[in-house]
Amino acid sequence: MKFATRFRQGMKAAIPVWIAFVPSSIAWGIAAQSHKLTLEEVLLLSAWVYSGPAQFAVLGPLAEGKSAIQVLVAGTLMNLRFLPMSAALAPFFSGVKRLPLLLSSHVVSASSFIVPYLQFQKERESEPQTTGDQVAKGYNNLAFFLGVGVTSFTVWVVGSTTGFIVALGFPAGFEEPLKFILPGYFAGLLVVEMKGWTMPLICAVSLIAAIPGAATSPGWGWLATSFVVALVGWGLEEWNLHAAKSS
Amino acid sequence: MELTRSEIILVLGITALAFRAVPQLFFVGEKFPETWDRLLRYLSYALLCGIISTTLFMQGASLESDVAPHRAAALIVAVIVARKTKSAVTGMLIGTIVVSVLSWF
């Protein structure tokens, strides 16, 4: 199949991701403007970091002029989740040269990862196991991934820029709703995704523990409490899983 | 470490690219352990909740006690609406309306 055809297939599959990206990118652009970031910084964050949660995490510390280490730790901890996503996609790009892989990996994101991953799995199950041209298959998959990733990336960058410009037109007195938009959106995203008991528990405890954490140390306190809460929640679930297996 | 905001963003982008690229470039065929995947997921949930909390309720080391009740109420409404409608956008919009109305009183 031609690269362009496969790319277009990816574009079509990405439409739900674009729809999800429009409100979140606009909300982030509005929040960035209310935090007094410049348009250049908004563009740089959206296009170069390209990670909604990490961009949200660093917004406050960046605007308040917190230390570089603190901003980088918050953003880096959030971006760690790209490791398993990227690792899950890697087997489908066998035979692709390293430079295209390096360039295309920039558009891996939580939302745009799941669409090609599910598509590749479906195709692998429906196709007979052949020893055909694995390199061609790798490039075919890359074209589909780029169709999803590049277009979603474009929507994200354009959306956040639009949000920033729209927020410039808000009259004074709208600080409260502007401050609420992004945290409100992320809280909504989390509850829509919630399953089981571990995640709601981790979220609730982290939400509450961050307050005394930040009161103790405004820079590092909430980071430390969130880290500990996640670790304890994960430990409890691991312990439960082991107990269930051994019984 | 004295870096400008743009330099900090550049470094952050490099780390993000590294996390995205390294598994594809060097660990093709390696499976990421499920348990570590879970830990990273929980870590990002906990961090997001920590940021939501500090963004809405804290100003440095102090609790914004005058506006915190309004924002907490709006957050609860947003969460309930998002859960019921399965739409984060609807939850955000309703929560934003609630916080706007409450801020007028």
pLDDT tens digits, B59-89: 888 999 999 999 999 999 999 999 999 998 8
* Distance from the B64 Cα atom to the nearest Cα atom in chain A, whole angstroms: 11
Looking at the structure, do residues B20 and B61 belong to the same domain, yes or no?
no
Burial group, residue B2, by CB count within 10 angstroms (0-12, 13-18, 19+): exposed
Looking at the structure of chain B, the number of domains it has is 2
| 3-state DSSP assignment of residue A164 | helix
**A188 → closest Cβ in B20, B71, B79:** B79
Looking at the structure, do residues B39 and B60 belong to the same domain, yes or no?
yes
Looking at the structure, do residues A185 and A208 belong to the same domain, yes or no?
no
**B11 → closest Cβ in A72, A192, A234:** A72
Q: How far apart are alpha carbons A79 and A246 in whole angstroms?
A: 34
State pTM to two decimals.
0.81
Which chain A residues touch B99 with a CB distance below 8 Å?
176-177, 180, 184
The whole-number pLDDT of residue A146 equals 96
| DSSP symbols for A193-231 | H--TTHHHHHHHHHHHHHHHHHHH-TTTHHHHHHHHHHH
Looking at the structure, do residues A184 and A62 belong to the same domain, yes or no?
yes
Looking at the structure, do residues A184 and A233 belong to the same domain, yes or no?
no
**A108 → closest Cβ in B20, B55, B83:** B20
Looking at the structure, do residues A217 and A109 belong to the same domain, yes or no?
no
Looking at the structure, do residues A135 and A244 belong to the same domain, yes or no?
no
Looking at the structure, do residues A92 and A208 belong to the same domain, yes or no?
no
Confidence of residue B24 (pLDDT cuts 50, 70, 90): confident
Domain boundary among A148, A169, A193: A193
Are B56 and A179 within 8 A, CB to CB?
yes
Pairing of strands B62-63, B58-59: antiparallel
How is residue A77 written in tokens? 């901890």
Confidence of residue A176 (pLDDT cuts 50, 70, 90): confident
Are A87 and B30 within 8 A, CB to CB?
yes
Q: Which residue has the tokens 């308040």?
A: A64
Looking at the structure of chain A, the number of domains it has is 2
Q: How far apart are alpha carbons A100 and A93 in whole angstroms?
A: 10
- Where in the sequence is the domain holding A138, given as residue range(s)? 3-193
Burial group, residue A234, by CB count within 10 angstroms (0-12, 13-18, 19+): buried
pLDDT at position A131 over 70: no
